[in-house]
Chain A
Amino acid sequence: MSEEHDANEPVTLLRTPISLDYDYSAGQSASRFLRAIAKGKLLGQRCPVDGRVYFPSRGACPQHGVTFGDEVIELSDKGTVVTFSIVRVPSENIPLELPYITVNVLLDGADTVLMHVLDAKLEEVHMGMRVQAVWKPEEEWTTSTGNIMYFRPIDEPDAEYDSYKEHI
């Protein structure tokens, strides 16, 4: 409000900024995942009911509501592109040069997909394409998924459609 507000005029605007501080805890499952990725390891967990592997794990199977316990599975940093999108619109949080490719990658051994960026020619990207994570230099690793800079294509034959059709 202006300090020159006329006391006889009705107040028509009130600014009430809200700010609250939180001491956020990622939780036990996410913390375990983040501590592992700080060492370059990708951890998933297996549902005891149907055996599906969740990556990352949130501590319980969202389908069956059962807890995963302490058993973890280390996953490969190779995977298969199950869907992709070519981005031509800028976004505040993503400092990449347009256009770029986002992909959903099904890591080998996982049953949930990871969304990331693919460094490839736009005309090359396709479903079933085999890719691998490109990591930051080890000395820069922290408890962040940002340790993986992007994925890149690798010289392997395309995955069969049946192997990933349930994960599109």
Chain B
Amino acid sequence: MRDVAVVGFTQSPSMRREPDRNEVEILIPVIQALREQTGLSSKDFDFICSGSSDYLAGSSFAFVSGLDAVGAWPPVCESHVEMDGAWALYEAWVKIQMGYADTALVYGFGKPSMGDLPLTMALQLDPYSVMPLWPDAISIAGLQARHCLENGVLSVEDMAAAAVRDRGHAKDNPYAQIAGDFTVEGILAEEYLVNPLRKSDCAPISDGASAIVLAAGDRARELRDRPAWIRGIEHICEPMDLGVRDLGRSRSTEIAAEKAGASSGGFDIAELSAPFTHQEILVEKALGLSGTTTVNPSGGALAGNPMMAVGLSRIGECATRIWDGQAGRAVAHATSGPCLQQNLVCVLEGN
């Protein structure tokens, strides 16, 4: 295996609604800032991979115009996934492992405020028996939360505590959308949005973008004094049908964690991109995180949730804390699909 590290990371502030800019205009300054941070130009990237969704943009092949932010002439070696940018990073990592690239630019971007996100998300459900009912994403997550509560997997206090923790951490994150001193009592006094989920149990809807540079071996050491080395990365997908999965645990996160070498623990920090409080707890359990791990020092998805970039940003948030020595070993998580259907685990280390 080649040593591959995260050596650059930039992001836009998470915003409920970008009033003027379109998806690509949100992305352009993020890529520009990444060039300035790393000193690399677009021509220095051997491979470019992006994550976005035409369903958010409301038009087919919308992702192609994202290349305006990169500069794609003469032709570049480029790919796209209709997934969170964390999966674009996985593809780039594979490309580097295969020896086809030494450096890669990865980005994710989305503007979900243009549509009705919970309804748009219904399109990822089983198209024959579930999607035609148009169940919105919050209701689907609510069913899972109800299952967890009634089977003693977690409590409403646990759920509220996750939001309190994340949004407290987010006070130090200038890119966060929701930050502040929340309390468990205060959250439990909120009206239900979809029983048993309260507004604070749900990640916000965020417009935004983020970008990462990967580099191999000596190239990484040239670009960073202390690169954030990817020591393991894996993603696992569970069946689409909600009825055949155990919604009270995240098996795919457990398997991905084992394959990525996360089972031995010892993490200083963990960055999770679960968009609901009960899902964040399920992911924490699946990763076997101990009390010595600071979970979501940036605030995680519950503080800012730019669709198609939020998972990639978790890897970036881990990397920045390794670069500056705050963390020695970190684990980042990204998710896709309803009720934690698919999960990616990435282990990063400073040495």
CB contact under 8 A between A25 and B69, given known A14-B132, A20-B116, A59-B28: no
Whether B58 lies near A22 (C-beta < 8 A) is yes
CB contact under 8 A between A25 and B72, given known A14-B128, A64-B42, A66-B32: no
A47 to B25 CA separation, bound complex (whole angstroms)? 16
Residues of B in contact (CB 8 Å), total 34
Whether B25 lies near A29 (C-beta < 8 A) is yes
Considering only residues 57-103 of chain A, those with a C-beta below 8 Å from chain B are 58-67
Q: Does B155 contact A (CB under 8 A)?
A: no
A26 to B111 CA separation, bound complex (whole angstroms)? 12
Chain B residue numbers with a CB within 8 Å of A30 are 22
Whether A22 lies near B22 (C-beta < 8 A) is no
A27 to B18 CA separation, bound complex (whole angstroms)? 10
Q: Does B20 contact A (CB under 8 A)?
A: yes
A26 to B114 CA separation, bound complex (whole angstroms)? 11
Expressed in whole angstroms, the minimum distance between the Cβ of B72 and any Cβ of chain A is 6
Interface-central residue, B28, B67, B70, B131, by most chain A CB under 10 Å: B28
Interface string of A11-35 (1 = CB under 8 A from B): 0001010101111111111110000
Partner of B73, one of A23, A25, A63: A63
Partner of B24, one of A23, A27, A64: A27
Chain B residue numbers with a CB within 8 Å of A20 are 55, 58, 115-116, 119-120, 123
CB contact under 8 A between A67 and B28, given known A20-B120, A61-B71, A62-B68: yes
A30 to B24 CA separation, bound complex (whole angstroms)? 12
A77 to B68 CA separation, bound complex (whole angstroms)? 26
CB contact under 8 A between A27 and B32, given known A16-B132, A22-B115, A66-B71: no
Chain A residue numbers with a CB within 8 Å of B70 are 65
Whether A27 lies near B115 (C-beta < 8 A) is no
Q: Does B65 contact A (CB under 8 A)?
A: yes
Whether B21 lies near A64 (C-beta < 8 A) is no
CB contact under 8 A between A64 and B120, given known A16-B131, A27-B21, A27-B22: no
A21 to B114 CA separation, bound complex (whole angstroms)? 8
Chain B residue numbers with a CB within 8 Å of A23 are 113-115
Chain A residue numbers with a CB within 8 Å of B128 are 14
Interface string of B45-57 (1 = CB under 8 A from A): 0000000000100
A59 to B24 CA separation, bound complex (whole angstroms)? 9
Expressed in whole angstroms, the minimum distance between the Cβ of B121 and any Cβ of chain A is 11
Expressed in whole angstroms, the minimum distance between the Cβ of A46 and any Cβ of chain B is 15
Whether B115 lies near A21 (C-beta < 8 A) is yes
A60 to B21 CA separation, bound complex (whole angstroms)? 13
Chain B residue numbers with a CB within 8 Å of A59 are 24-25, 28, 68
A66 to B29 CA separation, bound complex (whole angstroms)? 9
Measured as residues with beta carbon below 8 angstroms from the partner, the interface class of chain A is 20 to 34
A67 to B55 CA separation, bound complex (whole angstroms)? 26
Main secondary structure of the interface of B (DSSP, over half): helix
Chain B residue numbers with a CB within 8 Å of A28 are 20-22, 25
Q: Does B127 contact A (CB under 8 A)?
A: yes
Whether B116 lies near A31 (C-beta < 8 A) is no
CB contact under 8 A between A24 and B114, given known A59-B28, A65-B31: yes
Chain A residue numbers with a CB within 8 Å of B68 are 58-62, 65
Whether A18 lies near B71 (C-beta < 8 A) is no
Chain B residue numbers with a CB within 8 Å of A62 are 67-68, 71-73
Interface string of B103-114 (1 = CB under 8 A from A): 000000001011
Expressed in whole angstroms, the minimum distance between the Cβ of A135 and any Cβ of chain B is 27
Expressed in whole angstroms, the minimum distance between the Cβ of B122 and any Cβ of chain A is 9
Expressed in whole angstroms, the minimum distance between the Cβ of B10 and any Cβ of chain A is 14
A27 to B22 CA separation, bound complex (whole angstroms)? 4
A22 to B57 CA separation, bound complex (whole angstroms)? 8
Chain B residue numbers with a CB within 8 Å of A63 are 71-73
A65 to B131 CA separation, bound complex (whole angstroms)? 39
Partner of B21, one of A21, A22, A25: A25
A60 to B69 CA separation, bound complex (whole angstroms)? 6
Whether B116 lies near A58 (C-beta < 8 A) is no
Interface string of A83-126 (1 = CB under 8 A from B): 00000000000000000000000000000000000000000000
Partner of A58, one of B24, B111, B120: B24
The 10 A-B pairs at the shortest CB distance, nearest first, are namely: A65-B71, A27-B22, A22-B58, A16-B132, A63-B73, A64-B71, A62-B68, A65-B70, A60-B28, A22-B114
Residues of A within 8 A of B (CB): 14, 16, 18, 20-31, 58-67
With A20-B115, A25-B114 given, can you name 10 additional A-B contacts, CB distance below 8 Å? A20-B119, A27-B22, A28-B22, A31-B20, A59-B24, A60-B28, A62-B67, A63-B71, A65-B31, A65-B68
Can you list 10 residue pairs at the A/B interface with Cβ under 8 Å?
A20-B55, A27-B22, A28-B21, A58-B68, A59-B24, A59-B28, A60-B24, A63-B71, A65-B32, A67-B29
